[in-house]
Amino acid sequence: MPTNLANKEVRVRFAPSPTGDLHVGNIRTALFDWAYARHTGGKFIFRIEDTDRDRVTDEYIQAAIDTLKWLGLTWDEGPEVGGPNGPYLQSQRLDIYAEWAAKFLAQGDAYYCYCSSDELEARREAQRAANVAPGYDGKCREISADDLARYQTEGRKPVLRMRMPDGSTTFTDAIRGDVTFDHNFVPDFVLVRGDGSPLYTLAVAVDDVLMKVTHVLRGEDLLSSTPRQIRVYQAMGVKIEDYPTFAHLPFVMGQDNAKLSKRNGEVSIAWYRDRGFLPEAICNYLALLGWSPGDDRENVTMQELTELFTVERVHSSPARFDMKKLEAINGDKIRLLSLEDLLARVTPFLIKDGVITGTADELALVAKTLPLIQERIATLADVTSMVKFLFVSNFEVESESAPKIADEQSQIVLKRALEVLTATSAWDHSSLEQALRAALIDEMALKPRIAFSALRIAITGSHISPPLFESMELLGRDASLARLVMAIK
Ligand code: GLU
């Protein structure tokens, strides 16, 4: 990645504004930030941008912290771990922003603006009518003594605005190359609101400087705020060679090519966690969404990501989020788990779904089932429907499957199976298979699909289950026979 800072330690930050649960786009940014820091042996800084306290809540902040931890994106400086450049919550740094704002005012870089929102709106309207670039027109750059006296008598609370000089700002984005913003389209911008609270542009720029951030990898939606941030660096007296290097990551689009947004619950990482996606699958999938290690692999471990990640290999065009692909990768990762690990991960889902309470006996039975279903599930939550037949006290065939065993043919199969099984004393899956095949397939000449699907529904209540004979073995003789009796009208 091109950098002005060849000899300095790389310092990358992830700086979300937690106004909701972190979403897929945020997490991909965090992952790339983390990967770049780890790849370069630098530092990964986690900063919470919570100056907008009307929209950011403590719950969302905690959720953001928990999400990063869950994904394994450990940070070197930030909430909980601290660090030499803290605090890392912007709401705890307000005095720092106030100090810099006062300095900018004293230097003449910033000025008080008394324009009311009605006045601003009226002038914007006029700009639109006259077909000129909309934005603040600089009215309060010079205020006459009379006007100032009048504003003050009216009790107006001024905002603090940054003066944008004429000209343009050019910077080299590590993904998009040279980017230039003509200042005709970057009007004087607000640094501090009338109530004294700082705006994002002030806080983010001050913090990136004070936290010695060397690389800003973030979403493309923030590209247009870069010239304003650079203006703040200038006012802070930062030398051009000390500006961070910017890399704006292309959007993650939805299937329909619309932008993914956090208003849509389905993009929040919590949504995926609650549905049994593994953190390593999410990281694997998101890592390859918009970045590639130079080949067409679909699996990448965190270790490989750390070794291989470079910004040069981030694609410059938008990436499309594909749920099917994520599910496939999740299934792959589930298959890589040891049975012990899989058991530990599915247990909370089974408890939450009311399938088990978590006793040692229940867990032992789940543990026996897992090898049978590890190949068949795409998410941890899928385990519930696969194993619940082993635990229900009031067993019932699920309503959509009930008609499938009510027909004459199925009833004949079930009756014959009951006779055979009543006479079978060995209750292991191979004996069961042998006895049932002999009776149903060999003697009655039924197709296995017909014979065994009726049995499967009668025993497990569903047409989706672990393998049939193993299911019967796990369920046990008494319960299996009782279910057959129940299924026979
Ligand atoms: N806090 C900003 C946001 O969540 C991002 C700040 C940045 O990365 O520059 O949208």
Q: Is 430's pLDDT higher than 90?
A: yes
Cα–Cα distance list, 404 to 36, 352, 411, 455 (Å): 55, 30, 10, 11
The answer to whether residue 280 sits within a structural domain is no
Q: Which of 192, 225, 243 finishes a domain?
A: 192
Residues, the chain: 489
Provide the pLDDT confidence category of residue 143 given band limits of 50, 70 and 90. Answer: very high
Q: Is 262's pLDDT higher than 60?
A: no
pLDDT of residue 132: 87
Number of domains in the chain: 4
Q: 62 and 140 share a domain?
A: no
**CATH code where residue 376 lies:** 1.10.8.70
Range of the domain at 221: 11-81+202-251
% of the chain surpassing 90 pLDDT: 87
Q: Is 264's pLDDT higher than 60?
A: no
pLDDT of residue 6: 55
In the reported structure, the alpha carbon of residue 393 is separated from the centroid of ligand 1 by a whole-number distance in angstroms of: 51
Does an H or E element contain 246, and which? Answer: strand 245-249
Provide the pLDDT confidence category of residue 1 given band limits of 50, 70 and 90. Answer: low
Cα–Cα distance list, 70 to 65, 74, 261, 279, 357 (Å): 9, 9, 22, 7, 24
Please tell me the distance from the alpha carbon of residue 482 to that of residue 484, in angstroms, as a whole number: 5
Q: Which of 146, 173, 192 finishes a domain?
A: 192
Q: 176 and 222 share a domain?
A: no
* 257 or 391, greater pLDDT: 391
**CATH code where residue 458 lies:** 1.10.10.350
pLDDT of residue 296: 87
**CATH code where residue 140 lies:** 3.90.800.10
The tokens of 86 are what?
């803290």
The catalytic position among 139, 262, 325, 368 is 262
Q: 176 and 47 share a domain?
A: no
If one residue of 12, 17, 56 were mutated to test the ligand 1 pocket, choosing by the most ligand atoms within 8 A of its CB, it would be 17
The answer to whether residue 288 sits within a structural domain is no
Report the mean per-residue pLDDT for the chain. 94
**Which residues are CB-contacts of 136 (< 8 A; sequence separation ≥ 6)?**
113, 115, 120, 161, 187, 188, 189
Provide the pLDDT confidence category of residue 2 given band limits of 50, 70 and 90. Answer: low
Q: Is 339's pLDDT higher than 70?
A: yes
Q: 383 and 234 share a domain?
A: no
Alpha helices in 168-219 (DSSP H): 200-210
Phi, psi at 251, each rounded to 5°? -60, 155
The answer to whether residue 258 sits within a structural domain is no
Q: Of ligand 1's atoms, which has the minimum distance to the CA of residue 219?
A: 8
Q: 103 and 155 share a domain?
A: yes
Per-residue model confidence as pLDDT tens digits over 362-387: 999 999 999 999 999 999 999 999 99
262 belongs to the catalytic site: yes
Q: 479 and 447 share a domain?
A: yes
Provide the pLDDT confidence category of residue 88 given band limits of 50, 70 and 90. Answer: very high
Q: 119 and 182 share a domain?
A: yes
The tokens of 169 are what?
């700002």
Give the residue-averaged pLDDT of 45-58.
94
Start-to-end C-alpha separation, the chain: 72
Q: 407 and 453 share a domain?
A: yes
Q: 215 and 362 share a domain?
A: no
Q: 186 and 102 share a domain?
A: yes
In the reported structure, the alpha carbon of residue 48 is separated from the centroid of ligand 1 by a whole-number distance in angstroms of: 9
Provide the pLDDT confidence category of residue 266 given band limits of 50, 70 and 90. Answer: low
Check pocket membership of 284 for ligand 1, CB cut-off 6 A.
no
